[in-house]
């Protein structure tokens, strides 16, 4: 069964979202949580909340969030208990976010990352497994304590 990836964006990430959906749908089940049309007046927290809640509810799923800088969606999504959203600008960021921090949502910069690079980052992010060793599990548990 294909991994489930929820994707949500504001206007700054709309074009990139459409390109990533096509690319990712070859290997993943991609669920678009909006915005479904280009609206220059939309606000990223709405989509960050939708994706974050979907990822937490569906345990083995992942998410992608895109806004202009990627910072806003990361901040908003990380307010949701169980979300570990990571802004990744490089393949290395993506690999470490997954392997060391068990990130479950990839955040991207809609205004600054090119489509080809976003695809490479996504491939690494979704293809990397959490190391699941004592040190990294301990850190995740410490994060979970903060959320309580």
Quick one: which H or E segment has residue 91? helix 91-99
pLDDT at 112: 97
DSSP state of 93: H
Residue 1: the pLDDT is 79
What is the value of pTM for the model shown? 0.97
d(CA 66, CA 6): 12
- pLDDT tens, residue by residue, 64-87: 999 999 999 999 999 999 999 999
Is residue 148 scored above 90 in pLDDT?
A: no
Residue 67: strand, helix, or coil: strand
**Domains, in order of start, for the chain:** 3-147 (3.40.1400.10)
Confidence of residue 118 (pLDDT cuts 50, 70, 90): very high
């Amino acid at each position: 069964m294909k991994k489930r990836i929820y994707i949500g964006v504001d206007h700054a990430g709309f074009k990139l979202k459409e390109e990533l959906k096509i690319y990712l749908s070859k290997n993943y089940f991609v669920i678009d949580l909006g915005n479904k049309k280009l609206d220059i007046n939309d606000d990223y927290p709405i989509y960050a909340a939708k994706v974050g809640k979907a990822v937490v509810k569906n345990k083995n799923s992942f998410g992608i969030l895109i806004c202009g800088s990627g910072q806003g969606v990361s901040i908003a999504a990380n307010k949701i208990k169980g979300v570990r959203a990571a802004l990744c600008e490089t393949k290395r960021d993506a690999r470490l976010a997954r392997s060391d921090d068990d990130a479950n949502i990839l955040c991207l910069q809609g205004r600054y990352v090119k489509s080809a690079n976003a695809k490479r980052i996504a491939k690494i992010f979704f293809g990397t497994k959490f190391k699941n060793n004592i040190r990294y599990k301990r850190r995740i548990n410490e994060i979970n304590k903060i959320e309580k």
